[in-house]
Structure 1
Amino acid sequence: MQKGSDNLSKMNIEEILKERLCKEANGTSKRNIVFWYDTEKEFENEIANLAFEGTKIITLSTNNTFSVKYDIEVMDLDSNYLLYAPFEKPKDRENWLLDIQKYSEEFSTDRATYIMQRLGITDVALREVIERNIKFFENEKRFKKLEAFNLTRYDTRSLEIAIISALAKLKIADFDELIKVLLKEYLEGKDDLIKNIIKYSSVDSFYTHIKQRFGYKEEIFKIDEFATTLFYTAFSYKYEGKLPSKLDRFKSPRINEIVIFISEFLKDKNYKQVVEKYSRKFEKVLKIRAIIDEVSTDNFVKCETFKLIDEIIIERIIESVLGGNREFNARIRIAKARRTSLWINSFKNEYEAVINGLEFLRKLDYLSEALNAESLNDLYSMYTNEFIQLDYHYRKFYYYYDKVNNKDVLSKLKKILENKYVKDYLEPTSIQWSRLIENRGLSSLDCTLYKKQSDFYNHFVSDYVKKDERIFVIVSDIMNYEVASELRAELLKERRAEITLKAMQGIIPPHTKTGVAPLLADTVITYGKNEGNAIDSSSTKYRKKILLETNTKSLVISYDDIKNMKSSGYKAVFTGEKLIYIHHNASDKIVYAKSPFEGVEIAIREIKDIVRSLVNHISVAKIIITADPFGVVVPRAVTSYRDQDEKEDLMHGDASLQEMVIPVIEYFDKRSNSFKAKKVEVELTSITRKLTNKISSLEFFQTKSISVKILPLNLLMYFVDAEGKIVSNEVMIIIDNSSSIPKDRSFKKKFLLKDLRYKKEEIYYLVFEDEDRKINRIVKKIPFCIDL
Structure 2
Amino acid sequence: MSELNLKQIIDRLNEEFMGDTRKLVFWYDDKGEFAEDVQSIELANAKVYFLEADNQFYTKYFFERKDTKNNYLVYAPFPKPDVKNNHLEDTLLYSKRFFADRASLLSLDLGIDEKYKAVIEKHIKFFANKERSRRFYDLEIENFNEENILIGLLSSICRTRTCSFEEVVRVILTDGELENNKFIAEIKKYDLLDDFWKLSEKYFGYTDMDQTLESFVTTLFVTYTAKHISSDIPKEWEPYISYKSGNIIAFMDSIMNSVLYCDKYDQLSNFVDIKLGVEKTFAKYSPEIFLNCDTFECIDQLLINWIVERLLAEDIGAKLGGFSIVEIIEKREKMHFGVRTGCIYRMLKSAYYIVAAINYSCNDDFSSILEQYISCDYKIDQEYRNFYYEFDNLDDTYIFEGLRELVENIYTNEYLNKLIPKWNIALQEEDAFTKLPLQIDFYDSNVQNAKERTVVIISDAMRYEVGQELYSNLADDPKCRAKLDKQLSVLPSYTRLGMAALLPHDDITITDNYQVLVDDVLCDNLLGRQTVLQKHSQNSACIQFDDIKSLKKAELRDIFTGKQTIYIYHNQIDARGDKANTEDEVFVACKEAVDEIIDLIRRISTNANTYHFIITADHGFIYKRDKVTESDKISGVNDKNAFVNRRFIVADNAVNEDGITSISIGRVLRNQDTKVVSFPISSNVFKVSGGGQNFVHGGSSPQEMLVPVLDVKMERGHMDTKNASIALISMVQKITNKVTMLDFLQSEPVSDTIKATKYKIFFISEDNEKISNEISFFADSRETDTQKRIFRMKFQFKDKRYDKDKKYYLIVVDESTGEESFRHMVIMDLVFEDVF
TM-score (norm 2): 0.66
Give the direction of change, closer, same or farther, for the CA distance of 1:529–1:561 in structure 2 (3 Å limit). farther
Is the counterpart of residue 346 in structure 1 residue 340 in structure 2? Answer: yes
**Residue in structure 1 matched with residue 179 of structure 2 by the alignment:** 189
- 1:627-680, Cα deviation, whole Å (9 max, x unpaired): 02252757885255899997776434431121121211111335799xx9999x
Residue in 1 that maps onto 2:455: 472
Could you give the per-residue CA deviations for residues 17-46 of structure 1, whole angstroms, max 9, x where no partner exists? 679999xxxxxxxxxxxxxxxx99879xx9
Q: What is aligned with 1:335?
A: 329
Partner of 2:529: 543
Aligned with 1:759 (options 803, 814, 817): 803
1:502 aligned to 2:496?
no
The match for 1:661 is 706
Q: Give me the whole-angstrom Cα distance separating, in 2, the residues matched to 1:195 and 1:157.
A: 21
Matches within 5 A, 1:101-250: 109-118=100-109, 120-170=110-160, 172-183=162-173, 187=177, 189-250=179-240
- Structure 2 residue 825 is matched with structure 1 residue 779: no
Question: Structure 2 vs 1, CA of residues 260 and 762 (structure 1 numbering), >3 Å: closer, same or farther?
Answer: closer
Q: How does 1:45-124 map to 2 (within 5 A)?
A: 50-51=43-44, 109-118=100-109, 120-124=110-114
Q: In the alignment, does 2:683 pair up with 1:638?
A: yes
Match for residue 515 of structure 1 among 478, 495, 498: 498
List gaps (5 residues or longer) in structure 2.
15-24, 30-37, 46-97, 626-646, 648-681, 724-761, 766-770, 775-800, 831-836
Answering whether residue 574 of structure 2 is matched by residue 584 of structure 1, we say no
Query: In the superposition, relative to structure 1, how do residues 408 and 548 fare at CA in structure 2: closer, same or farther (>3 Å)?
Result: same
Write the distance in 1 (CA, Å) between the matches of 2:505 and 2:612: 20
Aligned to 2:375: 385
> Per the alignment, in what secondary structure is the counterpart of residue 463 of structure 1?
coil
Q: CA deviation at 1:122?
A: 3.2
The residue aligned with 1:487 is 470
Contact kept in structure 1, 2:763 and 2:809, CA below 8 Å = yes
Q: Deviations over 1:411-469 (max 9, x none)?
A: 332221111111111111012123323x55xxx772433011111111112223xx6x4
**SS of the residue 2:211 aligns to:** coil
Could you tell me how far apart the structure 2 residues matched to 1:363 and 1:124 are? 79
CA distance in 2, matches of 1:192, 1:783: 32
Q: In structure 2, what is the equivalent of residue 571 of structure 1?
A: 557
In structure 2, relative to structure 1, the CA distance for the partners of 1:777 and 1:253 (3 Å cut) is farther
Counterpart CA distance in 2 for 1:20 and 1:578 is 87
Contact 2:491/2:699, CA 8 A, preserved across alignment? no
1:117-158 Cα deviation digits (max 9, x unpaired): 33x223223212211211111122211232233444433223
> Could you tell me which residue of structure 2 aligns to residue 616 of structure 1?
606
- Partners of 1:667 and 1:356 in 2: CA distance: 28
Deviation at 1:505, TM superposition (A): 1.5
- What's the CA shift for 1:543? 0.7
The gaps in structure 1 that reach 5 residues or longer are: 1-8, 23-38, 53-106, 680-717, 726-756
Q: What is the match of residue 696 of structure 2?
A: 651
Equivalent residue letter for 2:342? K
Match of 1:449 among 435, 438, 443: 435
Cα separation, 1, equivalents of 2:148 and 2:829: 24
Deviation string 1:293-332 (CA, Å, 9 cap, x unpaired) is 3433221111111111011011111111122322167011
Q: Give the direction of change, closer, same or farther, for the CA distance of 1:528–1:151 in structure 2 (3 Å limit).
A: farther
Report the CA distance shift for 1:226/1:594 in structure 2 as closer, same or farther (over 3 A). farther
Structure 1 residues 175 and 720, CA gap change in structure 2 (3 angstroms): farther
Secondary structure, counterpart of 1:494 in structure 2: coil
Residue 304 of structure 1 aligns to a residue in which SS?
A: coil
Q: CA deviation at 1:396?
A: 1.2
Contact 1:589 1:602 in 2 (8 A): no
Alignment partner, residue 15 of structure 1: 7
Q: Secondary structure at the match of 1:765?
A: strand
CA contact (8 A) 2:697 2:704 kept: no
Partners of 2:2 and 2:481 lie apart in 1 by 74
User: Which residue in 1 is equivalent to 2:366?
Assistant: 376
Pairing partner for 2:546 from 560, 569, 583 = 560
Alpha-carbon distance in structure 1 between the residues aligned to 2:227 and 2:268: 18
Correspondence 1:431 to 2:424: no
Q: Is the 8 A contact 1:457 1:520 kept in 2?
A: yes
Task: Specify the alignment match of 1:80 in structure 2.
Answer: none
Letter in 1 for 2:205: G
The alignment status of 1:628 with 2:618, answered yes or no, reads yes
Output the CA distance in 2 between the equivalents of 1:304 and 1:168.
Answer: 28
Q: Which amino acid aligns with 1:549?
A: K
Aligned-pair CA distance for 1:720: 8.2
CA deviations 1:219-243 (Å, max 9, x no partner) are 4423332222111111100111233
Deviation of 1:783 after TM superposition, in Å, equals 9.8
CA contact (8 A) 1:364 1:390 kept: no
CA distance in 2, matches of 1:615, 1:582: 14
Q: Is the 8 A contact 1:624 1:666 kept in 2?
A: yes
| Counterparts of 2:305 and 2:381, CA distance in 1 | 25
Q: Is the 8 A contact 2:351 2:383 kept in 1?
A: yes
Q: Which has the higher helix share?
A: 1
Secondary structure (helix, strand or coil) at the match of 1:623 reads: strand
Count of residue pairs brought into register by the alignment:
622
**Which one-letter code corresponds to 1:665 in the other structure?**
L
- Please give the secondary structure, in 2, of the residue aligned with 1:503: strand
Which TM-score applies when normalising by structure 1? 0.70
Alignment partners' CA distance in 2, 1:763 and 1:260:
15
- Check whether the contact 1:634–1:658 (CA below 8 A) recurs between aligned residues: no
Please list, as runs of the form range in 1=range in 2, the aligned pairs for 1:726-741 lying within 5 A after superposition.
Answer: none
Cα gap change, 1:452/1:245 in structure 2, threshold over 3 Å: closer, same or farther? same
Separation in structure 2 between the aligned mates of residue 784 and residue 49 of structure 1, nearest angstrom: 48
Distance in 2 (CA, whole Å) between partners of 1:14 and 1:169 is 23
Deviations 1:353-399 (A, max 9, x none): 1122213333556x32x1x23x2111111111110111111111211
Seq. identity, %? 25
Contact kept? 1:526, 1:535, Cα under 8 Å: no
Structure 2 vs 1, CA of residues 108 and 358 (structure 1 numbering), >3 Å: closer, same or farther? farther
Find the aligned partners of 1:678 and 1:553 in 2 and give their Cα distance.
36
- Which amino acid is the alignment partner of residue 520 of structure 1? L
C-alpha distance in 1 between matches for 2:357 and 2:609: 41
The correspondence for 2:308, drawn from 318, 339, 360, is 318
2:528 is aligned with what amino acid?
Y
Cα separation, 2, equivalents of 1:491 and 1:578: 23
Distance across 1 between alignment mates of 2:476 and 2:142: 46
SS of residue matched to 1:238: coil
Closer/same/farther in 2, CA of residues 194 and 574 from structure 1, 3 Å limit: closer
* C-alpha distance 677-304 of structure 1, shift in aligned 2 (>3 A): same
- Comparing 444-453 with 472-481, greater Cα deviation is found at 444-453
2:349 maps to: 355
SS in 2 for 1:520: coil
Query: Does the CA-based 8 Å contact 1:498-1:669 persist in structure 2?
Result: yes
Q: Residue 356 of structure 2 aligns to a residue in which SS?
A: helix
Q: Give a deviation string over 1:101-122, Cα, whole Å, max 9, x none.
A: xxxxxx993211111233x223
SS in 2 for 1:161: helix
Q: Is the 8 A contact 2:391 2:397 kept in 1?
A: yes
